[in-house]
Structure 1
């Protein structure tokens, strides 16, 4: 997302409509911190549970893809609670509503494809390699933001792009002996390319969502953000269900559950908690979009991915050779560079706003 963009809610010209306008600074930061925790722990849990599913006998990439959106009904809870306190989204006419629905359908289809690429990547890569490769999404984020959202490059952004590219390149030449057992070199390449493609597609989705908010929906409240998440998930889930049955994967699920190495109950709980974890992560993502900005949400997500190898080391005892450690540190460095750029832009916006409001306050006095 655009580094120079203000938080979504500050784009509304009427500050009285902003739900956080009257919050004190510490209250605002508390909300930000809460959503960061949701995103971090949701993403940690989702990635690790996804790897656990494959390690213990799961094989269906369609099921793993379905789990990334299937628990969307959970989002109706905050939607109804928060939506009841806000005005419903208004569209000018039926044509406008049709455009909004078309946006949901197109984005939902792209999300389904993106989730499939992520599932293939996690099938053939260790959790640590997968997570570090996913951190390259900031590289494609900068590229798509430049062409779609008119993002201007800065030294810090260029530094982040170069560093994260180096991080992925190191892993690309270090795919030996550190990946799941039974994964051939060819399958490793498929997982590597799929994960890079998924990261690029994820960044494209974020840029298209921003463009849709600005050009089609034209109203950015928390309810609208949740609607975007819910309805695109409905479309993505529908596509995954069709794929699950069309591919014949559904026929193997019962046998997969019976042969799951940790038991049938563990199999069911793994699926349930994987779906819940992805939605917890989604709540954190949309929460940060709502409170701060889409860019900040993406940066925290990328930082989480850069730190996931540590969790993978503890949980799965992933091998952490020197090259992989350097790649992880480069990923963290690149993410921090992006975060610092966002901090500078936010400070500049606040300073400009304070300067602009000063003459108005003086005239009132």
Structure 2
């Protein structure tokens, strides 16, 4: 795995075993121990990262657009909007069966106990449910511009949490990426020409503002805790662990959302909501179904990037999606594309490129170190 102190914090790269005649593998080790957590060739790592970036950007952009469509066309249930963010988790069993879990026999650490796994999944699932509910409330009560502007604060929250929880180290390129992406998202937000909810009271505005701000903080905390769980508790070596994390945390979040839907009494209004949906009943059902599916696609990308890179990188790509969403709006809803949005998207791609370049530098440094180790071990005079 292409990780270094500048991107993962507290981790080093070392290689103690090289396959004969094959590609060198990079092993992530904690505190220079010999405990292997995951192995990837260079090509495999980049393919895995690119696939998860696509999942995150496409999934999040589509989910946000569908969520806005749900509210604009007459949807009003916060608990339903919360439920669909995790309800489609059973579809993840398909790739889970295609990528079964496999553990290296040389692992020096025992497998986590059932109680430890249950505690991790339950706690993260509760956080996820609360985060989804806060985002749903914010999207209902705030205009798109204010909502996006507040969501951009998640990078700042993540920088703080990752520093204390994941020992994140920051280089000038990473700081440049965080600042540029935050400015890009803010520029898009303040120039968003969509209209906000009409007749909104000051109390509801404050509820939406606080909910979205709190959701951004909880989301950043959730990413950091997921990264910590991968490193300290799960310690598995395949993509199956990513799917298991998403499945079980989504299961907990879905159960909580269902309880909230029935306890609040909102379930009684769902039939009337469907009948009064501006685009019709079929459109109402398909909107909820595809919102649920796209949120799962997005979530796999989020957790996958935490698994192979870091929580900060995952958050950077999530923020990049705030710049991609207006492009989709232009194509799908024929929104206007003004100069400010174009500049903001260019800034976002600049910040994204900065972070990717930092990972490239870390990769090159790690490969050179491994090459030096191999040459030293193969040099008879060095023995």
- The residue that corresponds to 2:21 in the other structure is none
Question: Which ranges in structure 2 are unaligned for 5 or more consecutive residues?
Answer: 14-25
Alignment equivalent of 1:151, drawn from 143, 147, 168: 168
Aligned ranges for residues 11-160 of structure 1 at < 5 Å?
Answer: 11=28, 13=34, 18=39, 20-21=40-41, 25=43, 29-83=46-100, 92=110, 96-127=113-144, 130-131=147-148, 133-160=150-177
- The residue that corresponds to 1:349 in the other structure is 366
Looking at structure 1, the residues matched to 350 and 150 of structure 2 have their Cα atoms a distance apart, in angstroms, of 14
- The residue that corresponds to 2:195 in the other structure is 179
- The residue that corresponds to 1:249 in the other structure is 266
Range that drifts further, 143-152 or 251-260: 143-152
CA contact 1:127–1:309 (8 Å) conserved in 2: no
Looking at structure 1, the residues matched to 205 and 328 of structure 2 have their Cα atoms a distance apart, in angstroms, of 21
- The change in CA–CA distance for 1:136 and 1:338 in structure 2 (over 3 A counts) is farther
Q: How does the TM-score come out when normalised to structure 1?
A: 0.83
Range that drifts further, 43-52 or 291-300: 291-300
Looking at structure 1, the residues matched to 358 and 201 of structure 2 have their Cα atoms a distance apart, in angstroms, of 38
Deviation at 1:142, TM superposition (A): 1.4
**Cα RMSD after superposing both structures:** 3.6
CA contact 1:136–1:199 (8 Å) conserved in 2: yes
- The residue that corresponds to 1:239 in the other structure is 256
Q: How does the TM-score come out when normalised to structure 2?
A: 0.79
- 3-state SS in 2 of match to 1:11: strand
Deviation at 1:60, TM superposition (A): 0.7
Looking at structure 1, the residues matched to 146 and 84 of structure 2 have their Cα atoms a distance apart, in angstroms, of 21
Looking at structure 2, the residues matched to 206 and 100 of structure 1 have their Cα atoms a distance apart, in angstroms, of 17
Looking at structure 2, the residues matched to 16 and 199 of structure 1 have their Cα atoms a distance apart, in angstroms, of 30
Task: Give yes or no for the alignment of 1:217 onto 2:234.
Answer: yes
1:10-41 residue CA offsets vs partner (Å, 9 max, x unmatched):
326587974x44xx73x654444333322222
- The change in CA–CA distance for 1:304 and 1:125 in structure 2 (over 3 A counts) is same
Looking at structure 2, the residues matched to 190 and 16 of structure 1 have their Cα atoms a distance apart, in angstroms, of 43
Looking at structure 1, the residues matched to 363 and 287 of structure 2 have their Cα atoms a distance apart, in angstroms, of 40
Looking at structure 1, the residues matched to 237 and 311 of structure 2 have their Cα atoms a distance apart, in angstroms, of 12
Deviation at 1:359, TM superposition (A): 1.2
Deviation at 1:344, TM superposition (A): 2.8
Question: Which ranges in structure 1 are unaligned for 5 or more consecutive residues?
Answer: none
Looking at structure 2, the residues matched to 325 and 125 of structure 1 have their Cα atoms a distance apart, in angstroms, of 24
- The residue that corresponds to 1:194 in the other structure is 211
Looking at structure 1, the residues matched to 56 and 346 of structure 2 have their Cα atoms a distance apart, in angstroms, of 20
Deviation at 1:219, TM superposition (A): 3.2
- The residue that corresponds to 1:4 in the other structure is 7
Deviation at 1:220, TM superposition (A): 4.5
1:228-283 residue CA offsets vs partner (Å, 9 max, x unmatched):
11111111111111111111111110000000000001100111111111112223
CA contact 2:223–2:311 (8 Å) conserved in 1: yes
Deviation at 1:103, TM superposition (A): 1.3
- The residue that corresponds to 2:17 in the other structure is none
- 3-state SS in 2 of match to 1:262: coil
CA contact 1:48–1:127 (8 Å) conserved in 2: no
Looking at structure 2, the residues matched to 171 and 42 of structure 1 have their Cα atoms a distance apart, in angstroms, of 19
Equivalent residues, number: 359
